[in-house]
Amino acid sequence: QVQLVESGGGLVESGGSLRLSCSASGFFLDDYAVGWFRQVPGKEREGVSCIRSRDGRARYAASYYSASVKGRFTISGDNATNTLYLQMDRLKPEDSAVYYCAADRGFNCYSGMRYWGKGTLVNVSS
């Protein structure tokens, strides 16, 4: 049974940093596309960053980011602990949202991924 559990959200001042974690079980991280999404109430869910599956990395770049976070956020995965991370630096108030971890077979992340965590709230004060 696939499970994803996020942690690490909280309140931080503008310009600060947070690291989100997503503990995955029921599958091997390397075999799936895994990524982070975020959602503000009343708005559509937005893709933040993705690590492609092993098969995807054989054909394309290993990871990618949305334009709004590129250069500030870093995605990484630890296969030994089956954990996905999102290091968020130089945070801005507009980064405030519920952040979700998601996973699916296939090369890429997309809005309709099969498996989702329950989310962790990030609140950046100005």
Residue 101 near residue 126 (C-beta atoms within 8 A): no
Cα distances from 101 to residues 37, 50, 109, 119, 126, in angstroms, run 6, 10, 11, 7, 25
Q: Residue 38: is its pLDDT beyond 90?
A: yes
pLDDT attached to residue 53: 87
pLDDT attached to residue 55: 82
Q: Residue 39: is its pLDDT beyond 90?
A: yes
pLDDT attached to residue 72: 97
How many Å apart are CA 46 and CA 67, to the nearest integer? 11
Given pLDDT bands bounded at 50, 70 and 90, which one contains residue 59? confident
How many Å apart are CA 18 and CA 40, to the nearest integer? 18
Given pLDDT bands bounded at 50, 70 and 90, which one contains residue 61? confident
Cα distances from 66 to residues 10, 24, 52, 79, 115, in angstroms, run 22, 23, 14, 24, 20
Q: Which two tokens stand for residue 124?
A: 């950046």
How many Å apart are CA 119 and CA 122, to the nearest integer? 10
pLDDT tens for each residue of 4-25:
999 999 999 999 999 999 999 9
3-state secondary structure of 53: coil
pLDDT attached to residue 58: 80
Residues near 104 by beta carbon (within 8 Å), at least 6 away in sequence: 32, 33, 110, 113, 114, 115
pLDDT tens for each residue of 41-56:
999 999 999 999 888 8
Residue 1 near residue 12 (C-beta atoms within 8 A): no
